[in-house]
Structure 1
Amino acid sequence: MLYVDSEQHNLNAFRAYFREFKEYNIHLFKTGIDAVFALHTEKIDIIIADQPRPEVTGFEFVSAARFNNSPPIIIALTVHRDTQVLDMALEQGTLFRYFQKPIDFQELHFALIDAKLTLINRPNSH
């Protein structure tokens, strides 16, 4: 799982909450540019991306993530109340879920459990 957020305190809180869940191999990044490099060196099944990003928008970052044969599941985080673009992405199937900030980590964890089940049940995922 890869989480990219420009706010260090969000990365720290994420790490603290998910520390006890050993089933997650977590990669944290403050910039989308750094995270894109990880996509080429690590097997990433789930991406949690802050939207928008300062240097690369969340959707630009996600586009880079989709270059591989097995696209990761994408969860977006946003501070914006206008979620029309995110709703469209949900309808198109390019986005798994999105959450408003501040993040409720328990709700996010439930979404991650659903995401893992979705990965297991994908055709050709075995």
Structure 2
Amino acid sequence: MSDKKIDILYVDDEENNLISFKATFRLKYNVMIAVSADAAMKILESKPVEIIITDQRMPNMTGIEFLEKVIEKYPDPVRILLTGYADMNAVIDAVNKGKIYHYLSKPWSEQELEETIKKAFEVYQANKEIKEMNSKLAVSNDQLEFLLRQKLLS
């Protein structure tokens, strides 16, 4: 892993959770915090992130609804859902539909969250490498097709 800090966006309507998260992880990661889904979307418009961690229970929009909105514009960040409520049907639905990488319950354990962030970043990097290889493959296929057409025309 390079020296670049992982960019993490943490979304929670409870300011104490935001302060606690930032205090815990600010030295290891580049932490951005948002008190609402709307504030989080504004951050995403200005700065790409690798990992998004969101609370499930928030006013105006649940964490899952926020992540559904995020995935339309920003499919690359790995998504983690935190919830202190027994909203398991929504969590299971989100996991099954592939919208979130991992689910953690509140209050979160620093060690468990740290391990989840590291694994999520590995997934982010692997997905990025796959995209890069696929685009190189597409270019190679286009070049091959061009050469074959030239041969056929000559």
Verify same fold: TM over 0.5: yes
**1:100 aligns to 2:144 (yes or no):** no
Contact 1:77 1:99 in 2 (8 A): yes
Contact 2:15 2:35 in 1 (8 A): yes
Q: Flag the 1:75–1:125 CA change in 2: closer, same or farther, 3 A.
A: farther
Q: Flag the 1:49–1:112 CA change in 2: closer, same or farther, 3 A.
A: same
1:74 is matched with 79
Structure 2 unaligned segments of length 5 or more: list them.
1-7, 134-154
2:43 is matched with 38
Q: Which of 45, 69, 73 is residue 64 of structure 1 equivalent to?
A: 69
2:57 is matched with 52
Contact 1:65 1:71 in 2 (8 A): no
Structure 1 unaligned segments of length 5 or more: list them.
none
Q: Which runs of 4+ in 1 moved over 2 A?
A: 67-71
**1:14 aligns to 2:21 (yes or no):** yes
| 1:91 Cα deviation after fit | 2.4
2:61 and 2:74 mapped to 1: Cα distance? 22
Deviation readout 1:69-109 (Å, 9 max, x if unpaired): 64321111111123122122212221111111111121011
| 1:125 Cα deviation after fit | 5.2
Identity level (%): 31
Q: Flag the 1:81–1:70 CA change in 2: closer, same or farther, 3 A.
A: closer
Aligned length: 124
Letter in 2 for 1:16: A
Structure showing the higher helix proportion among its residues = 2
2:107 and 2:95 mapped to 1: Cα distance? 20
Higher relative contact order (CA 8 A, sep 6+): 1
CA radius of gyration, larger in: 2
SS of residue paired to 1:94 = coil
SS of residue paired to 2:73 = coil
Superposed CA RMSD = 1.6
Contact 1:97 1:111 in 2 (8 A): yes
What is the TM-score normalised by the length of structure 2? Answer: 0.74
SS of residue paired to 2:79 = strand
